[in-house]
Amino acid sequence: MVSKHVRTLEERLGVRLLNRTTRHVSATEVGQNYYERCLRILGELEDAERAAGDLQAAPRGLLRVTTSVSFGAHQLAPAIADYLIAYPDVSVDLSLHDKYVDLLEERIDLAIRLGQLSDSSLIAKKLYAVEMILCASPAYLAAHGTPQKPRDLVKHNCLIYTYAAPRAWTFTDKKNGKEEVVRISGRLMANSGDPLLALALKDTGILLGPDYLVADDLNAGRLVRLLPDYKTQETPVYAVYPHSHYLSAKTRTFIDFLAARFAHLPRIKQNGHDGTSIVHAPPNPRTATDEMRHSSVPSN
């Protein structure tokens, strides 16, 4: 019955939507584009119905969220726990992936993505920027020496995040603003931050990791911050969602909650936090979100 309807649709449109063999059926390029546009139309129809109903007035229902493994475990999961306390009628389905997830195809309400974004039909709101921290264990430094300049890193085993391209780390001298790009190399690579942290703690190399990942170990002295006179590139964090004129209350309040929470995160000093408290109180749910069109590249 489904095949008959698809063939009827193909005849009416005058195009082939599916490639068919005896063992496999896949969408043609035209078929995939047609399917994605239909999903967007259906999504807009759902938005219109939601805007006219109670669901738009108060946060409730299931919120489906995705982000990277490390960020989800260290930053997003604690935030979700506090959000659920503030909004008891909402439940959250959190999915952690270090690869790109198609929000429309997977029916995801919201993604939290790190890194630069390029143009597409999705919408993004910048939440904050993660500080990248260069560090290593005391035992590694005792065995291999402590780099004094960025160029010294070429002599060291650097722990590499496989999704980062190219394999270069950028440093800016805080005194004169001069930028230096160092091509790094190393024998250890991983597609998530947590195993790279574990490797650094086992005295195997130098890590350039996000502040939320290394803060506790810096505080405890298990890691030492390197090249404190140089700034590293920050990694922007975005809330990403499909285009929608009428954001559901659950999505809107969650985005605003994260924006307020991350705005008060503590900053890392040379070897730890500066003691600034984290704010858990939910923001005003009416706060507007700043939007821009984009598409995402997977990042940690």
Residue 283 pLDDT more than 60?
no
Looking at the domain assignment, is residue 300 inside a domain? no
- In terms of domains, do 143 and 216 share one? yes
CATH number of the domain to which 11 belongs: 1.10.10.10
Residue 178 pLDDT more than 90?
yes
The string of pLDDT tens digits covering residues 116-166 is 776 567 888 999 999 999 999 999 999 999 999 999 999 999 999 887 766
Residue 246 pLDDT more than 80?
no
DSSP H helices in 165-297: 193-201, 211-220, 249-262
Looking at the domain assignment, is residue 195 inside a domain? yes
> What is the number of domains present in the chain?
3
Radius of gyration, CA atoms only, the chain: 23
The range of the structural domain enclosing residue 221 comes to: 132-232
DSSP H helices in the chain: 2-13, 29-51, 69-71, 77-86, 103-106, 138-144, 193-201, 211-220, 249-262
pLDDT value, residue 172: 95
Lowest mean pLDDT among 9-13, 74-78, 140-144: 9-13
CATH number of the domain to which 180 belongs: 3.40.190.290
